Amino acid sequence: MTTRFEDLRVGDDLPALARTVTREDVRAYADAGGDPNPLHQDDDVARMAGFPGIIAHGMFTMGHLGACVSTWAGDPANVVRLSAQFRAPVLMGEEIVAGGRVRSLDLDTRTVTAELWVTVEREGTTEFAIRKGEAVVRFPE
């Protein structure tokens, strides 16, 4: 379903996008991005840093958030700006859920500002891997 600017209202939720993070995902991200940091590749190194095993790159999680926004926007070129605050690491096997909510609409420029987040469930509690994110999306006529 294509998002139409005319149908949007302040308070509307962006469709949530879920993904379970795997070692293969993290390895592929590291290879593509040229980030060989052992925190994302070596369980022993990650344990020495206080984690139970390797963690996903923050920008991997941000990329998932970007996929959520660009899918909702209908075209990645419509996304003018995307920002976020990283709040918690993401472990292997965890499901991350990206989402957001329309905060404001500019009728003159056909621009939407949305608040964004990525959550992860841990021990029955929802935590934010990313919080206080923001996207500005311009919808062409």
From first to last of its 141 residues, what are the pLDDT tens digits of the chain? 678 999 999 999 999 999 999 999 999 999 998 888 999 999 999 999 999 999 999 999 999 999 999 999 999 999 999 999 999 999 999 999 999 999 999 999 999 999 999 999 998 999 999 999 999 999 998
**Assigned domain for 98 exists:** yes
* pLDDT value of position 89: 95
* pLDDT value of position 113: 98
**Assigned domain for 30 exists:** no
Q: How far is CA 125 from CA 52, 60, 77, 90, 92, in A?
A: 18, 22, 35, 14, 17
**Assigned domain for 119 exists:** yes
**Assigned domain for 33 exists:** no
* pLDDT value of position 35: 87
* pLDDT value of position 2: 76
**Assigned domain for 68 exists:** yes
Burial environment of residue 38 by CB neighbours within 10 A (0 to 12, 13 to 18, 19 or more) = middle
**Assigned domain for 109 exists:** yes
* pLDDT value of position 1: 62
Domain of residue 11 covers 5-22+55-138
The domain tally of the chain equals 1
The candidate with the shortest Cα–Cα distance to 61, out of 34, 38, 82, 37, is 82
CATH of the domain at 60: 3.10.129.10
- Measured CA to CA, the distance from residue 137 to residue 141 in angstroms comes to 13
